[in-house]
Amino acid sequence: MSGAGAREAATVLSPGAGAEGAAGAAISGAGETRGAVVPGAGTGQAGAEVGQGAGSGQAGAEVGQGAGSDGVEPAVVPGASSGGAEPAVLPGAGPVAAESAVISGAGSGRVEVAVIPGAGPVRRVGERGTVRLRPGGGEEPARYAPEWLRLREAADAGARSVELLDPLRIRLANRPGRGGGLVVHDLGCGTGSMGRWLAHRLDGPQHWVLHDRDPYLLHFAAVGAPRAAADGSRVTVETRRGDVARLTPDALTGAGLVTASALLDVLTRDEVDALAAACAGAGCPALLTLSVAGRVEATPAHPLDAEITAAFNDHQRRTGLLGPDAVTAACEAFAAHGVTVQVRPSPWRLGPVQPDLTAQWLRGWVGAAVEQRPELAERAQTYLAARLASLAAGELRVVVHHSDLLALPRPSGGTS
């Protein structure tokens, strides 16, 4: 998540530059300058803990803990879909503060169940939906695990609504000052998947301003940025470190489009109101994708499905975050500024074709439900084991519902 605070740093990079080139780019910012790209920030240097296996016969029944809005932030766990014991966690894949959970086992007393660092949406009261990959002082930013963001990128790309692209293209084609190219602000960009999905679907030269509070993720986003638009026009990229919670109206000066992915549900109502006000004030459209809708459909059905879903949804609303209420709140916030809003479904469709993603999502989803309602622990362990077995057998299908939102303010008449 990001914004334009007074101490935000900016880095301008050439898309496609190697890691060394990105890390060595000049960094300049107004006020206090802070690094926007971390040299050598690849996997293996993050110092994350490695999850302990649950013992013979217990793998596949682990309840993960991490952070996020979709059962997010799991590491890729070898053997997760096949019942392999003692899965290892990829370095840099989760929070170093993760600890083992204890879940009551049926007929066997207390069963130690391994917590897979970064394997789900569980977070302590007061934490935001991010994790820390290494210990540090107050300046150390919270982080999403890049392994999880890579794991979910294909599912995200397949889920986003293409129906919203035509009205967006029409608005962009008629925006004032379009001759100078399109400036896109991508909020909470993570590793840059939104730009990789959208840039080649829009015509004309584009300059993407990638916002995130984590320089580690900004590094990946800059290196993996797209190079060309749909018509072959040049795409350039700039990174800015900051927090969307401190987004100010002047942060979007000159913007022609604001984008975000899986962001709204980890914001508060005040933050969504501020985002809507900033977009309306700048007169620029906003394409905000993949917000959780609070509905999960699993086949075959299980008697515990509804309880797990309800507990997960309550977990996402903790500490004032909007969770599954985010799209409704965003529609209200934009409407208060006279902005036209269109909403379309963007469901994940999970199953045996994406075994790693499905298994990690399941662990995180169930883990969050158990943290919210500890009395579910014993039944949840059995439920998770059954669901993972069904996945390994090729039987499980899951639809995780999300929504995409397109906000179309009146053009401000300024440059874009």
At 178-196, the pLDDT tens digits run 667 999 999 999 999 999 9
- Of residues 212 and 36, more confidence is placed in 212
Mean per-residue pLDDT for 7-34? 34
Which amino acid is located at 254 in the chain?
G
- Beta carbons of 255 and 383 less than 8 angstroms apart: no
Give residue 79's pLDDT.
31
Separation between Cα atoms, residue 272 and residue 245, nearest integer Å: 9
* Confidence label for 329 from pLDDT (cuts 50, 70 and 90): very high
* Confidence label for 339 from pLDDT (cuts 50, 70 and 90): very high
Residue (of 73, 66, 188) closest to 127 by Cα position:
66
Give residue 221's pLDDT.
94
Task: Give 149-186 pLDDT, tens digit per residue.
Answer: 999 999 999 999 999 999 999 999 988 766 679 999 99
Task: Give 288-314 pLDDT, tens digit per residue.
Answer: 999 999 999 999 999 999 999 999 999
Mean per-residue pLDDT for 235-249? 84
Per the prediction, the chain carries an average pLDDT of 72
Give residue 120's pLDDT.
34
Residue 335 scores a pLDDT above 90: yes
- Of residues 100 and 404, more confidence is placed in 404
Mean per-residue pLDDT for 269-283? 92
Give residue 37's pLDDT.
31
Mean per-residue pLDDT for 85-94? 31
Indicate the DSSP class of residue 355: H
Separation between Cα atoms, residue 130 and residue 170, nearest integer Å: 35
What percent of the chain stands above pLDDT 90?
A: 56
Give residue 178's pLDDT.
67
Mean per-residue pLDDT for 10-29? 34
Give residue 291's pLDDT.
97
- Beta carbons of 281 and 407 less than 8 angstroms apart: no
Q: Which residues contact 340 (CB under 8 A, 6 or more apart)?
A: 407, 408, 409
Give residue 242's pLDDT.
84
CA dihedral 68, 69, 75, 78 (to 10 degrees): 150
What percent of the chain stands above pLDDT 70?
A: 63
Residue 106 scores a pLDDT above 70: no
pTM: 0.69
Dihedral pair phi/psi, residue 400, rounded to 5°: -105, 110
Residue (of 344, 342, 343, 346) closest to 409 by Cα position:
342
Give residue 243's pLDDT.
78
Task: Give 357-383 pLDDT, tens digit per residue.
Answer: 999 999 999 999 999 999 999 999 999
* Confidence label for 412 from pLDDT (cuts 50, 70 and 90): low
* Confidence label for 143 from pLDDT (cuts 50, 70 and 90): low
* Confidence label for 36 from pLDDT (cuts 50, 70 and 90): very low
Give residue 244's pLDDT.
75
* Confidence label for 132 from pLDDT (cuts 50, 70 and 90): very low
- In three-state secondary structure terms, 203 is coil
Mean per-residue pLDDT for 29-42? 31
Give residue 383's pLDDT.
98
